[in-house]
Amino acid sequence: MSAKILDGKWVRDQILADLRPRVEKLAARRPPGLAVVLVGHDPGSEIYVRNKVKACADLGIYSEKITPEDTISTGDLLGIVEGLNQRREIDGILVQMPLPKHIDSRRILLAIHPGKDVDGFHPTNLGNLVVGIPGPRACTPAGIMELLRRYEIGVEGKNAVVVGRSDIVGKPMALLLLHQNATVTICHSKTRDLAGECRRADILVAAMGRPAFIQADAIQPGATVIDVGMNRLPEGKVIGDVDPEAVRAKAGAFTPVPGGVGPLTVAMLMTNTVAAAERNLCSA
**What pLDDT digit, counting tens, does each position of 186-239 carry?**
999 999 999 999 999 999 999 999 999 999 999 999 999 999 999 989 998 999
Round to whole Å and give the CA distance between 163 and 193.
12
How many C-beta atoms surround the C-beta of residue 282 within 10 A?
A: 7
Q: Is 2 within a domain?
A: no
Q: Is 23 within a domain?
A: no
What total of structural domains would you count in the chain? 2
**Together in a domain, 148 and 80:** no
Q: Is 211 within a domain?
A: yes
Round to whole Å and give the CA distance between 233 and 246.
18
Domain with 78, as residue range(s), is: 28-114
CATH code at 86?
3.40.50.10860
Q: Is 4 within a domain?
A: no
Round to whole Å and give the CA distance between 3 and 255.
10
Q: Is 234 within a domain?
A: yes
Share of the chain above pLDDT 70, in %: 99
CATH code at 212?
3.40.50.720
* Domain end residue (candidates: 59, 79, 114): 114
pLDDT digits (tens, 9 = 90+) for 155-165: 999 999 999 99
**Together in a domain, 103 and 194:** no
**Together in a domain, 104 and 158:** no
**Together in a domain, 255 and 146:** yes
pLDDT digits (tens, 9 = 90+) for 227-274: 999 998 999 899 999 999 999 999 999 999 999 999 999 999 999 999
Residues annotated as catalytic (active site), given as ranges? 52, 96, 119
**Together in a domain, 162 and 106:** no
**Together in a domain, 158 and 252:** yes
Q: Is 204 within a domain?
A: yes
pLDDT digits (tens, 9 = 90+) for 58-95: 999 999 999 999 999 999 999 999 999 999 999 999 99
**Together in a domain, 160 and 255:** yes
Q: Does residue 44 have a pLDDT over 90?
A: no
* Domain end residue (candidates: 114, 149, 170): 114
HEC string of the chain?
CCCEECCHHHHHHHHHHHHHHHHHHHHCCCCCEEEEECCCCCHHHHHHHHHHHHHHHHHCCEEEEECCCCCCCHHHHHHHHHHHHHCCCCCEEEECCCCCCCCCHHHHHHHCCHHHECCCCCHHHHHHHHHCCCCCCCHHHHHHHHHHHHCCCCCCCCEEEEECCCCCCHHHHHHHHHHCCCEEEEECCCCCCHHHHHHCCCEEEECCCCCCCECHHHCCCCCEEEECCCEECCCCCEECCECHHHHHHHCCEECCCCCCCHHHHHHHHHHHHHHHHHHHHHHC
Q: Is 134 within a domain?
A: no
For the chain, what is the mean pLDDT?
A: 96
**Together in a domain, 62 and 171:** no
- Predicted pLDDT at 282: 83
- Predicted pLDDT at 100: 95
**Together in a domain, 100 and 157:** no
**Together in a domain, 143 and 102:** no
Q: Is 200 within a domain?
A: yes
- Mean pLDDT in residue range 91-106: 96
